[in-house]
């Protein structure tokens, strides 16, 4: 997706050979026009998939997921990372390790919002080692629902997550795939 790649080049900051900071438009401050374009791209990719829900993880996956959900006319469910006083039982859960934060979190989704009749698109902001996607896949499987695909805004193609998910037979659509962050420069696949 050209608009996303242009934004990454213009406003992204390469912090190391493994870390790209995009907090000025994706995961701290949000560029609504770009999110609308991203939502449209995911909607176009999955318009014929029979989707009933989009599942994401808080918080950075919410903006692109909501835009896609708005265009597709389906609800968006997000997995919570933090314990909630209103979500005490009757939920699906999985453990997810965050590469960026170097911490494990238990994520959870209420059983009220995901069931065996659902056809799901998973959307997330980044794909590196695939831990968030694996956790969300586990939750969808626990619900007995069907995963139609995994939509990723930015994939770090030089890390193993995307290939591992594809090798497992999952449809993975990444809007920007980065092949390298060497020498402080973003290179796209």
pTM for the whole thing?
0.94
List per-block mean pLDDT (blocks of 10 residues) for the chain, which spans 189 residues: 97 96 94 98 98 94 97 97 68 86 88 97 96 97 98 97 97 98 96
Quick one: DSSP state of residue 74? -
pLDDT at 88: 63
What tokens does 94 get?
């999985």
pLDDT at 102: 79
2-188 classified as CATH 3.40.50.2020: yes
Q: Domains of the chain: which residue ranges?
A: 2-188
Angle between helices 2-11 and 32-46 in degrees, nearest 10: 150
pLDDT at 133: 97
**H helix runs in the chain, sequence order:** 2-11, 32-46, 62-72, 131-143, 161-167
């Amino acid at each position: 997706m050209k608009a996303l790649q242009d934004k990454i080049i213009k406003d992204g900051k390469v912090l190391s050979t493994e870390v790209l900071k995009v907090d000025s438009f994706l995961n701290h401050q949000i560029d609504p026009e770009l999110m609308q374009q991203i939502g449209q791209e995911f909607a176009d990719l999955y318009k014929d998939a029979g989707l009933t829900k989009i599942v994401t993880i808080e918080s950075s996956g919410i903006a692109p997921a909501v835009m896609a959900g708005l265009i597709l006319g389906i609800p968006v469910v997000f997995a919570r990372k933090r314990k909630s006083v209103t979500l005490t039982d009757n939920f699906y859960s999985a453990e997810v390790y965050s590469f960026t934060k170097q911490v494990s979190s238990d994520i959870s989704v209420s059983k009220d919002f995901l069931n065996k009749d659902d056809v799901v698109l998973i959307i997330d902001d980044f794909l590196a080692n695939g831990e968030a996607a694996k956790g969300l896949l586990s939750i969808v499987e626990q619900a007995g629902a069907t995963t139609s695909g995994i939509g990723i805004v930015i994939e770090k193609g030089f890390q193993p997550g995307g290939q591992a998910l594809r090798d497992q037979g999952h449809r993975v659509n990444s809007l920007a795939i980065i092949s390298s962050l060497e020498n402080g420069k973003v290179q796209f696949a």
